[in-house]
Chains A and B, each alone.
Chain A
């Protein structure tokens, strides 16, 4: 188990930087995590995806895959990859402070 500090708060993460305890996450931490992942600015569309990730995690206990995101987040797959070029589900999960979504499709 490792820790990182966002907004002056120490949080637990796994070795890839995903939150292991999503309750430690605060919205204000998202821009800082995003910058660390190479995203300079979080637009309204980014936030739509991030909030959807949190919502899905709260409902189902796991984050959605890219396919699910494309079908249900209101952001189509092409745009998801423009918003989060290095893997939308993975990156959005990290920024949203939830564990890495598992699933092959």
Chain B
């Protein structure tokens, strides 16, 4: 007997780096493509992904990222994060992976709900107007759980 198929996912994006944001976006978009309902919840630095002024300037984390296989000290040098981000963006463009702003717009078009975490919005002194138009609402953690009911929660 095969397992019960997944019909709904609620994906939390909590990090503000390029490598912290993309996986959650890919999972949300992929869920919709499979006909699975999906909501995205942006919290803490993940809010940068839906921040009007910041979402076009998301950088790759080059410090404390052993996956890059170069010395942490190097990763902290001025400009290294910019260069690595540029390199990664070029590779993504070649593979036709959309930029973060384009990807988020596309995910909103698939019918996925985009939500911002109230605690984080308050913490960073933001308002709804600071966030891109596709954000449906700023919600509390309690409201998030209500929305997530009956589905899987994925934290990234």
Mark B residues whose CB is within 8 Å of A. 26, 29-30, 32-35, 96-98, 106, 109-111
- How many A-B pairs have beta carbons closer than 8 Å: the answer is 43
Closest residue of A by beta carbon distance from B31 = A87
Q: Is A78 positioned at the interface, with any CB of B under 8 Å from its CB?
A: yes
Which A residues fall within an 8 A CB radius of B? 65-68, 70, 76-78, 81, 85-91, 104-105
- Contact B109–A81 (Cβ < 8 Å): yes
Tell whether, in the assembled complex, residue A87 and residue B33 are in contact, meaning their CB atoms are under 8 Å apart: yes
The 4 A-B pairs of least Cβ separation, nearest first, read: A86-B35, A87-B35, A77-B109, A78-B109
Residues of B with C-beta under 8 A to A88: 33
CA distance A66 to B103 in the complex (A): 12
Majority secondary structure, A binding face: helix
- Given A65-B33, A70-B109, A105-B97, 20 additional A-B pairs, CB 8 A: A66-B32, A66-B33, A66-B110, A67-B29, A67-B96, A67-B98, A68-B96, A70-B106, A76-B109, A78-B109, A78-B110, A81-B110, A85-B35, A87-B33, A87-B35, A88-B33, A90-B33, A105-B26, A105-B30, A105-B98
